[in-house]
Structure 1
Amino acid sequence: MSKKSKRYKALLEKVDLTKQYTLSEAIALAKECATAKFDESLELHVRLGVDPRHADQQVRSTIVLPFGTGHTKKVAVLALGEKQKEAQDAGADIVGGEDLVAEIQNGRLDFDAVIATPDIMKAAGRLGKVLGPRGLMPSAKTNTVTFDVAGAVKEIKAGRVEFRVDKTAITHNAVGKASFPVENLLGNVKALLRAILKARPAAVKGTYVKSITIAATMGVGIMVDPVSAQKDAAAE
């Protein structure tokens, strides 16, 4: 059995693990529990009533958080011709064509997001085994395969995040830093919840949102009342 630190034990005294909090209460408490020596992220974990094994029950999309994530992503763009200059002008950190594809195949991974134009996907398709497991493979579903590279770069830089269910039917996303005001974190959480609700697959029957948990990176999981949270998000 793992031994809990004094810091973690102190956090457990602040959180009622049997209670379901409102979104505002959970966010304020998560901020209070962010006692590490760095600016922790606040994370939203949503367990959905879907079966990820079925293609028609996949949940995956993107959203630009209104108040950003507090983390500026390093963006790589795979493109040909003039689209490379467009990407550079938009603020992309790494830009290249088939030469960059080869570098990534050989182990280059110093970026947080990858955008590709459709005309280079034949070459970029070889990167599936490298980028796929890291959640970085460009996809039309997440607007990372597009000729509008400038728009895609700017959105990612502005705080666009991707949400998708994992094998246990849970989405995991950072929604800002603990140093953010409660109002900003609440705005980000509501926006993300609305996007997840909008992405509900038609094949899903019964309860869609099973549970919601908010936690700081090094904090305690705080349970949120999923019914009131959905009402709060929908009221915007």
Structure 2
Amino acid sequence: MSHSFGLRALRLVPRRFVKRSPLPVADDSQVYLLNQRSKPIYPFEEALRALRRYAVRPMDETVEISLQLNMRINKKTKRGAFQGMVLLPHPLKKKKKIIVFAEDDLAMEAKEAGASIVGGKDLIAQIQSKQIKFFDLCLSSESMYDQVKPLQQHLRAKMPHPRRGTVTDDLAEKVLQLRREQEYKVDKEGNLNVAIGKLSFPDDVILENSRCLLQAVDQHKKIKGSFFLSAVLTSTYGPGYYIALSDLIN
């Protein structure tokens, strides 16, 4: 009994009375934090060559550029998220699902231009009943716009609007334009990710697409200082490489 009591007593000893050996002190000259080291910045072509070396899968991987923008307007105010469209000189052949609200001749023109789904009241009913959920872009003829307005809660950000140029009677030209354009979105933190090519594209083609994107985004600049803070080039299954902004800004 005395033996068991002794073990119990040892467990009840407060920690402040337990002697511990001091921890070894490391040499300050050998200690550093990785996140405080500056990240290497590569020339654009060198980053592309590295991504191609990583491409071991039997597929043509997509090349993406990630930008970090300065969202400050002044010392106290930051701008909100924004989005836009850019017509890349060498677009990716990605099929976009475009629906168009139109009737009669305008409907026929939109269909011939490559719109995925074209319709009038029947299409409105399909959207309301959620028979059609997944699509990329939405257009409307001017005569159909008043009938389309109640679809705001269904279409949300894809809702056609005259100020966006998505309510028009020149539907054929607009469909052709949207099929070539690339959409970009910037969140409130200033992050932007856009596909700008394929690894099979020549270097100068991907570079030209990148420069065109930065020119389009630069139109939203509201500060006097630097708008583009950093740029990272990556691919579908590859790592990310910080690239020199001087290669992208003419």
Alignment partners' CA distance in 2, 1:32 and 1:137? 42
Tell me which of 167, 173, 177 is aligned to 1:145.
Answer: 167
Tell me which of 179, 187, 192 is aligned to 1:171.
Answer: 192
- Deviation, structure 1 residue 76: 1.5
Tell me which of 62, 66, 90 is aligned to 1:67.
Answer: 90
TM-score by length of 1: 0.75
The correspondence of residues 124-135 of structure 1 with structure 2, limited to 5 A, is 124-132=148-156
Q: Percent identity?
A: 30
1:51/1:57 contact within 8 Å kept: no
AA matched with 1:212: A
Tell me which of 166, 173, 181 is aligned to 1:160.
Answer: 181
Unaligned runs of 5+ residues in structure 1 are 1-16
1:42/1:216 contact within 8 Å kept: yes
AA matched with 1:99: D
TM-score by length of 2: 0.72
Q: Which moved more, 1:211-220 or 1:97-106?
A: 97-106
- Deviation, structure 1 residue 117: 2.6
How many residues of Structure 1 are paired with residues of Structure 2 in the alignment?
209
Q: Stretches of 4+ moved more than 4 A in 1?
A: 54-58, 139-142
The correspondence of residues 1-236 of structure 1 with structure 2, limited to 5 A, is 18-50=39-71, 58-107=81-130, 108-132=132-156, 136-140=158-162, 142-157=164-179, 159-200=180-221, 202=222, 204-226=223-245, 228-231=246-249, 234=250
1:51/1:169 contact within 8 Å kept: no
- Deviation, structure 1 residue 46: 1.3
Change (3 A) 1:20 1:125: farther
1:27/1:186 contact within 8 Å kept: no
AA matched with 1:64: L
Structure with more relative contact order (C-alpha pairs < 8 Å, separation 6 or more): 1
SS state at 1:24 partner: helix
Aligned-residue Cα RMSD (Å) equals: 2.7
Alignment partners' CA distance in 1, 2:64 and 2:125? 34
Q: Which has the larger radius of gyration?
A: 2
Q: Which moved more, 1:62-71 or 1:80-89?
A: 80-89
- Deviation, structure 1 residue 95: 0.5
1:83/1:149 contact within 8 Å kept: yes
Alignment partners' CA distance in 2, 1:70 and 1:48? 27
Alignment partners' CA distance in 1, 2:150 and 2:191? 28
Alignment partners' CA distance in 2, 1:220 and 1:73? 27
- Deviation, structure 1 residue 87: 0.4
Q: Deviations over 1:115-149 (max 9, x none)?
A: 223443333333333333xx533345553333221
Change (3 A) 1:178 1:51: same
Unaligned runs of 5+ residues in structure 2 are 1-37
SS state at 2:213 partner: helix
